[in-house]
Structure 1
């Protein structure tokens, strides 16, 4: 693992761990980090031995959000490019053929919160804090935050979180279905790995297609989504499934 990079990668098949490594900046997100993260994700996407990716942050934060010092020197065109780069990364995470788990430690704010929301599952430490403070700067979440949060917590709660700029605790995040699991701080990475290992015991192809059915289906009328679900399931019914069925039947006997 290269600990000099701002995006560290450690692969222990079938799990890859990505660590954001700007701890002196609370893992603030700048364009360089986004592009490096994107390149790492693309490499892992192509690795057929990797089933799950865990994203976490080094130090006291998962990510405190965008690097506002970089913002200060941007014009509107540069700012638009920055937001579109962030969106490119988050959309890629959401649509990967891998399970993506965000292991959230400490601050998970702004763009960091958007990154976590783009993942499939969130495991949070007890000291995790989530929020969108953009409103305090005269901005709004601009790379998926208003849309992904609303789809999880509902319209009114999303408005409350975004318009107030207040932080929510790990416990509140779990109650709102933002976080899937809350664990002790020191156990965060191991618990995320355990969750990934439990899921990766199953067919990688089935995991990916379940993601597709849920992610794409929620954007469509239910009749369209049901047809898409059936098509994906039929496509999965192959020799590998027959072998699993045979194994299950003979175990029962």
Structure 2
């Protein structure tokens, strides 16, 4: 964080934060570099999502970019002359950034406005839902540099698209249009470019209306259960259900259903 902002929203390098009720929009702003990430941006995003995690009154997050790119990967000019140790440190910093989003209990929607390449595609895949502009393009083109993706993209893409298609995309480095991304099931919805933010904010508002503890549990259960056996994951689901049953939100939700009124969830 560069400096303290208002009491409600701090200021981070290369990021613009905007609150709307219980939804926070985080906009990546390094337009002259197509929002390519350097070490300072990675640190800012990591600290931003750690801050978000501590804010009980933020229930959903929209992550987007300015200009033609969501994030056009890493800033190659910033690491091209690194030695191996420096390069691994750079990669570790990137992985910490992705983990800060995945570990954040609030649902995060990637509103992909343009190019999401390399680390930018991996950033979108670190989020929980992806809304893509019709102008969005995705890709993991590291092979063209003689490299491979290092931020989790290989395994995540293989799990979503299947190993055969993942190999094709990774080995050719070709870009994927938004509509194909929806067909491959890593894009939830494709929207007109000028309606992207509106669409993402509408979805975020829907998420923010739900019981916070239940939404947070669902994120954790899906993320951690996908690599466990079915029996283990289902046992984990049941244990969370039992703990939520005793929460004030669950009592309020059941009472509101019986009384045919809108539930007022407090995150307790």
Range into which the TM-score falls when normalised by the shorter chain: over 0.9
Further displaced range: 155-164 or 176-185:
155-164
Report the counterpart of residue 43 of structure 1 in structure 2: 51
Shift of 1:37: 1.0
Report the counterpart of residue 252 of structure 2 in structure 1: 243
Report the counterpart of residue 176 of structure 1 in structure 2: 184
Check the 8 A contact 1:28/1:66 in 2, yes or no. Answer: yes
Shift of 1:69: 0.4
Further displaced range: 130-139 or 146-155:
146-155
Query: Could you list the runs of 5+ residues in structure 2 that have no partner in the other structure?
Result: 1-8, 262-268
Report the counterpart of residue 25 of structure 1 in structure 2: 33
Check the 8 A contact 1:118/1:148 in 2, yes or no. Answer: no
1:154 to 162, 167, 173: 162
Shift of 1:153: 1.3
Shift of 1:73: 2.0
* Deviation beyond 6 Å, 4+ runs, structure 1: 1-4
Check the 8 A contact 1:54/1:102 in 2, yes or no. Answer: yes
SS for the counterpart of 1:200 is: helix
Shift of 1:243: 2.2
Shift of 1:184: 0.6
Shift of 1:223: 0.9
For residues 26-175 of structure 1, what are the structure 2 equivalents within 5 Å?
26-175=34-183
Give the alignment's TM-score, normalised by structure 1.
Answer: 0.96
Shift of 1:75: 1.0
SS for the counterpart of 1:77 is: helix
CA distance in 1, matches of 2:75, 2:25: 23
CA distance in 1, matches of 2:245, 2:122: 35
CA distance in 1, matches of 2:103, 2:62: 15
Check the 8 A contact 1:52/1:196 in 2, yes or no. Answer: yes
SS for the counterpart of 2:260 is: helix
Give the alignment's TM-score, normalised by structure 2.
Answer: 0.91
CA distance in 2, matches of 1:134, 1:234: 45
Shift of 1:151: 1.7
CA distance in 2, matches of 1:29, 1:17: 18
Matched, 1:212 2:204: no
2:203 to 180, 187, 195: 195
What is the Cα-based RMSD across aligned positions, in Å?
1.5
Query: Could you list the runs of 5+ residues in structure 1 that have no partner in the other structure?
Result: none
CA distance in 1, matches of 2:23, 2:168: 36
CA distance in 1, matches of 2:238, 2:222: 12
